[in-house]
């Protein structure tokens, strides 16, 4: 479906200004779809191991929060 939208967008860009505006809207919607939230990113294995060494229980809210914070800080 994404491929079809891209080809439609290319065809619309070749048309009049009104259609080019529609093509821009399609492109912006496609680019918005690709952006992912950093909150959905997986915790790296090294950060999990780092948190497991610091906390007795894994997975726990404290341990996973620590792993996320250390990953954002670049400690592991």
Whether this model's pTM surpasses 0.95: no
Q: What is the pLDDT of residues 32-59, one digit of tens each?
A: 655 566 666 788 899 999 999 999 998 8
In degrees, to the nearest 5, what angle opens at C-alpha 36 toward C-alphas 8 and 1?
A: 25
Query: How confident is residue 22, by pLDDT bands cut at 50, 70 and 90?
Result: confident
Question: Residue for token digits 């093509």?
Answer: 23
CA distance 45 to 35: 23
* Domain range list for the chain: 2-35, 39-73
């Amino acid at each position: 479906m994404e491929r079809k939208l891209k080809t439609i967008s290319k065809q619309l860009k070749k048309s009049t200004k009104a259609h080019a505006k529609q093509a821009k809207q399609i492109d912006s919607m496609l680019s918005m779809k690709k952006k992912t939230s950093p909150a959905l990113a997986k915790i790296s294995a090294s950060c999990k191991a780092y948190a497991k060494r610091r906390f007795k229980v894994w997975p726990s809210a404290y341990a996973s929060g620590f792993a996320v914070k250390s990953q954002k800080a670049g400690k592991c």
